[in-house]
């Protein structure tokens, strides 16, 4: 059974040893895709998981001892980063900044529709391109929702004094 890497046994550690979060299982192929080439020889035949905790520096951990941290990744990991450079869709290259710019100017974002259209057309490869191994669309939708709410809050704050003036 040496080559059967995805089969879990009773002793398998499913939690990240750094933060205790239960990680999402990822394919070895995903780990190979994201780990910098100088660390590739450490990618063993362990069953790997992705730690999605934003504060935790560990990105991938094996069920025995291997750990890979954010500094050992080729790209910025969306789940661990904040700010406009944060990737929200790895397949089509959208960042949080792209969504913010649209939302600030138009109040909405076309990115979720664009991404779901491309997924329907079979042009995504999230399970490998996204470090979390999950489909990008969930994170795209969450980010657009948060940025839209942030814009509404900031508009209310700037409108309040003007409303007070008009009421008098
Ligand atoms: Zn962790």
pTM as predicted? 0.82
Question: Could you tell me the distance, in angstroms and rounded to a whole number, from the CA of residue 161 to the centre of ligand 1?
Answer: 44
Domain boundaries, the chain: 1-74, 87-163
pLDDT tens digits, 60-69: 999 988 999 9
Question: Could you tell me the distance, in angstroms and rounded to a whole number, from the CA of residue 80 to the centre of ligand 1?
Answer: 10
Say if CB 114 and CB 60 are below 8 A apart. Answer: no
Question: Could you tell me the distance, in angstroms and rounded to a whole number, from the CA of residue 15 to the centre of ligand 1?
Answer: 8
Q: Token match 């979390």: residue?
A: 132
Question: Could you tell me the distance, in angstroms and rounded to a whole number, from the CA of residue 75 to the centre of ligand 1?
Answer: 18
Question: Could you tell me the distance, in angstroms and rounded to a whole number, from the CA of residue 77 to the centre of ligand 1?
Answer: 13
Question: Could you tell me the distance, in angstroms and rounded to a whole number, from the CA of residue 69 to the centre of ligand 1?
Answer: 9
pLDDT tens digits, 102-137: 999 999 999 999 999 999 999 889 889 999 999 999
DSSP string, 35-60: B-GGGGGG--SSPEEE---SS--EEE
Residue 39, C-beta contacts closer than 8 angstroms, at least 6 positions apart = 68, 72
| Distance (Å, whole) CA 107 – CA 119 | 24
Between 2.20.25.270, 2.40.50.100, 3.10.105.10, 3.30.479.30, what CATH number should domain 1-74 receive?
2.20.25.270
pLDDT tens digits, 9-66: 445 679 999 999 999 999 999 999 999 999 999 999 999 999 999 999 999 999 988 9
* Distances in whole angstroms, Cα of residue 31 to Cα of each of 94, 122, 157: 21, 22, 44
| Distance (Å, whole) CA 139 – CA 89 | 8
Question: Could you tell me the distance, in angstroms and rounded to a whole number, from the CA of residue 114 to the centre of ligand 1?
Answer: 32
Question: Could you tell me the distance, in angstroms and rounded to a whole number, from the CA of residue 68 to the centre of ligand 1?
Answer: 10
Question: Could you tell me the distance, in angstroms and rounded to a whole number, from the CA of residue 94 to the centre of ligand 1?
Answer: 25
Question: Could you tell me the distance, in angstroms and rounded to a whole number, from the CA of residue 50 to the centre of ligand 1?
Answer: 8
């Amino acid at each position: 059974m040496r080559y059967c890497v995805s089969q879990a046994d009773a002793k398998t550690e499913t939690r990240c040893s750094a933060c205790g979060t239960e990680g999402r299982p990822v394919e070895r192929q995903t780990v190979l895709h994201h780990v910098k080439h100088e660390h590739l020889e450490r990618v063993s035949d362990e069953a790997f998981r992705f730690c999605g905790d934003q504060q935790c520096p560990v990105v991938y951990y094996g069920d025995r001892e291997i750990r890979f941290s954010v500094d050992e990744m080729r790209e910025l990991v969306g789940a661990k980063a904040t700010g406009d450079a944060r990737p929200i869709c790895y397949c089509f290259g959208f960042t949080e900044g792209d969504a913010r710019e649209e939302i600030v100017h138009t109040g909405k974002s076309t990115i979720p529709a664009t991404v779901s259209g491309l997924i329907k057309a079979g042009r995504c490869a999230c399970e490998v391109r996204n470090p979390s191994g999950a489909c990008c669309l969930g994170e795209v939708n969450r980010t657009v929702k948060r940025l839209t709410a942030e814009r509404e809050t900031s508009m209310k704050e700037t409108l309040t004094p003007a409303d007070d003036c008009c009421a008098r």
